[in-house]
Structure 1
Amino acid sequence: MICREQVEAFVMVKQHEHGKVAGELAKWFKEEHVPEEGRREEVLRAVSNHDRGWIDLDETPFWNDAEGAPYTFIDFPVVPKLTFYTRGLDEIEADTAYGALLCSLHFERLIETSGEACPELTAYQEAEAERRSRIHRELEQSRPIGEDELYYDARLLQFSDDLSLYMALNEPGSPKSEEHPWWTEGFSGSEDFSFTSGRKISAEWQDERTLLLDPFPFTKSFEIAYSQRRVLKSAVAEKGIASAYRETPEEVCRIVLKERPE
């Protein structure tokens, strides 16, 4: 679950909903390095489904007593999270082996960044390293992976994931001074795309409905729509997080992505 706290409520977005937004962002991304026989459709499906392992977990949110807030993807207990990561990757691989390779690499980067450590995590990493090696071997026999291709597709997944998270974790319309700390210096890795000329892509709210990006990474301006729930803290106190979440209706958040004017 993705969650941001307001004075009277928790705004909650399902991980798979965020993943579908990431897939829509990747769809409109400026195409640069696209091999002659690229795997664009597989990549788009992988980006859209990279967090599908959270589908069942997010049906009923859990309460974090220590934080006085719902558990999120950031602080959810490691062992069950790894179980559902593995399940999600298995489902992705059943659809696209290359997509599973991309997503497995993506999770490995997130784990390394988090600095978490436990025996279960080590076992997960060893199993995923074997998955990636196996996929490489299998694709080498049928459709070899170009080094530049994999690097570009991994960066596309990373950026699409980051920008989708940005929209969910930042209050729409909030000033740059209140930006989530992960992105105060721009989107990490985005400087590797050739159209940025070595600059990191950054975002800034124009208003509650419009997000400005510079350099602009898409082929056109477009609107993103996704579902969220604004769960009142008073309802959580009265009924508990599971009932309060279940009884809160979904609302649609709409955001237009535009190029920042000169």
Structure 2
Amino acid sequence: MLQRAPATALSGMTHKCVLMIQHLELVAQLANAFGNENFDELLPKEIMEHAAANHDAGWYEKDLTMSLDPVAHIPRGLLFAPPGTSVEVGSKSADIGEAFHAYSGLLISLHHTGLQQGRYGEGGGKVPAFAEMVSESKQWREASGEPATAQASIEDWLAKETERQERIKAALSNDAATAPWVSNEALWTNYRAMQFFDTLALYFCLAAEHDRPSTPLEFPKVPTSVSGKSTTVKVTRIHEGRYTCEPYPFNRSPLTVTLAGSLVKPDASLANALAMISKGALHVETITLEPAK
């Protein structure tokens, strides 16, 4: 993921490259702090936190080997990966989750199939920078002549992941200890929570601090209770490094989180993201979230 370099960046550094592992580190911080008197804590907490922190873990190896943009000579965004990459990493991410616990695998699988279907209309903020990236990648794929078989591959993958989801739900339903987790209310409550963490993290990962709008960004269907109730959380940039959330969903006030990445500059001599990051400079942004006054 790319954003413009901060104004304080060293001369020549034009962008900040945020790897998927760094995106997930931010997601994990948000998930770990979720819940207060107005927002029920995640349940089951440990498994939910694992799913949130690993929902895109299948990208780790792909992320570093992504080729550079041949014109701009900077890392490509993940949506510009070769055809078939998204389904490959979706399954691998779900495998990683399932190796920890079947419920983690279920939630991660749902997350990835949801990405192909508008997040099922079940939450997630409409992050402007992400919408712009989706539009640009669509134009790029059309111009590059993406194989006609790509959509068929996605349909086959969706069918396989649906089978995984049904298998896991059936197994968990047969255990009295886990059956409540796969009730319609509980499962979609946890899915919505993951979409909130993911898109809130994307809001920070895809745009530099000075490029984020000062107008509120709405995150709909943020769960307030395990029974399925939800609300819209509005996030507003109020000052450099400071953002309000209304209503406030975290258990610490203020909540300070960090977003790491690498400051990079165009270099036509390099082959991939790993080579560029190796020559870059570490940058850690500190973000403070607080209740609206």
Q: What range describes the TM-score normalised by the shorter chain of this pair?
A: 0.7 to 0.9
Distance in 2 between residues matched to 1:248 and 1:229, nearest whole Å: 6
2:80 to 75, 80, 101: 75
Tell me by how many angstroms 1:79 deviates.
0.4
Q: Which amino acid aligns with 1:150?
A: L
The one-letter amino acid of 2:87's match is: L
Match of 2:151 in 1: 118
Residue 250 of structure 1 aligns to a residue in which SS?
A: strand
Higher relative contact order structure (alpha carbons within 8 Å, sequence separation ≥ 6): 2
Q: Which runs of 5+ in 1 are unaligned?
A: none
* Closer/same/farther in 2, CA of residues 249 and 60 from structure 1, 3 Å limit: farther
Aligned counterpart, 1:141: 174
Per the alignment, residue 35 of structure 2 pairs with 30
- Aligned equivalent of 1:4: 3
Distance 2:69 2:78 in 1: 12
Assess, with a 3 A threshold, how the Cα gap between structure 1 residues 217 and 93 changes in structure 2: closer, same or farther. same
TM-score by length of 1: 0.83
User: Which sits farther off after the overlay, 153-162 or 213-222?
Assistant: 213-222
Task: Count residues in correspondence.
Answer: 248
Kindly indicate whether residue 155 of structure 2 is the aligned counterpart of residue 152 of structure 1.
no
8 A contact 1:174–1:205 mirrored in 2: no
Residue 257 of structure 1: aligned partner: 289
Matched, 1:167 2:204: yes
Counterpart of 2:277 in structure 1 is: 245
1:41 Cα offset (Å): 0.7
Select the residue among 206, 215, 219 that pairs with 1:187: 219
* Correspondence 1:100 to 2:137: no
SS in 2 for 1:63: coil
Q: In the superposition, relative to structure 1, how do residues 43 and 158 fare at CA in structure 2: closer, same or farther (>3 Å)?
A: same
Write the letter of the residue equivalent to 1:81: S
Partner of 2:67: 62
Deviation at 1:146, TM superposition (A): 2.3
2-structure distance, mates of 1:81, 1:175 = 27
Q: CA deviation at 1:12?
A: 1.0
Alignment check: 8 A CA contact 2:217 2:236 kept:
no
Quote how far apart the aligned CAs of 1:201 are: 1.4
SS of 2:232 mapped into structure 1: coil
Q: Decide whether the 8 Å contact of 2:64 with 2:272 is kept in 1.
A: no
C-alpha distance in 2, partners of 1:163/1:135? 28
Q: What is the alpha-carbon distance in structure 2 between the residues aligned to residue 155 and residue 167 of structure 1?
A: 19
Matched, 1:210 2:242: yes
* Other structure's SS at 1:251 match: strand
Would the alpha carbon gap of residues 198 and 104 (structure 1) be closer, same or farther in structure 2, given more than 3 Å must change?
closer
RMSD: 2.7
Q: Deviations over 1:25-67 (max 9, x none)?
A: 11211254569xx411101111011111011112233223478
Letter aligned with residue 152 of structure 2: P
CA shift at 1:166, angstroms?
0.7
